[in-house]
Amino acid sequence: MAASRYRRFLRLCEEWPVEETKQQRDLGSFLRQRVAQAFREGENTPISDPAACDQMYESLVRIHTNFYKNKYPRLKDTTFTGVTVEDCRTILATDILRQMEDMKKGTWKRLREKFSAKKPEEDLK
């Protein structure tokens, strides 16, 4: 039975898209890592709790197939602020978040980082 569960998870990982804009924060990448950890021995991995494993798989399938989005359709594709899905994706992109972090830094800190020979993490030590 472990072999069929492993194959189902692998199929789900293949179908799950990877968002390049969310480096190190992507659900598809995280899912691949967790499946690799959980099934270290591949098809021969012993499963201690098959019911929990099946429940996890079914939950992930519901997320992947937009089960709840289809079950409870929204009247509009915007939030109460008027922000669209595409705007949210743009805002949550890793590059934009880095730019926002840089904007939060003070002028003195930015200048110090720019002209300092050592990394800012070394300053804290």
31-50: per-residue pLDDT in tens? Answer: 999 998 888 888 888 888 88
46 shares its domain with 79: no
pLDDT at residue number 112: 74
Per-residue pLDDT tens over the stretch 57-114:
999 999 999 999 899 988 877 777 777 777 777 777 767 667 767 666 777 776 777 7
**Shared domain check, 37 and 63:** yes
Examine the domain organization and report whether 65 and 103 are in the same domain: no
Q: Which residue has the higher pLDDT, 52 or 111?
A: 52
Q: Is residue 26 one of the residues assigned to a domain?
A: yes
- Judgement on whether residues 41 and 8 belong to the same structural domain of the protein: yes
Place of tokens 């399938």: 61
pLDDT at 54 > cutoff 70 = yes
Angle of helix 2-15 relative to helix 27-38, nearest 10 degrees, comes to 160
Residue 41: what pLDDT? 85
Tokens of 86: 């595409």
Same domain, 7 and 59: yes
CA distance 116 to 112: 6
Contacts of residue 83, defined as CB under 8 A and 6 or more positions apart, other chains included, come to: 91
How many CB atoms neighbour CB 41 within 10 A? 9
Same domain, 69 and 79: no
Looking at the structure, do residues 27 and 61 belong to the same domain, yes or no? yes
Residue range of the domain that includes 107: 75-118
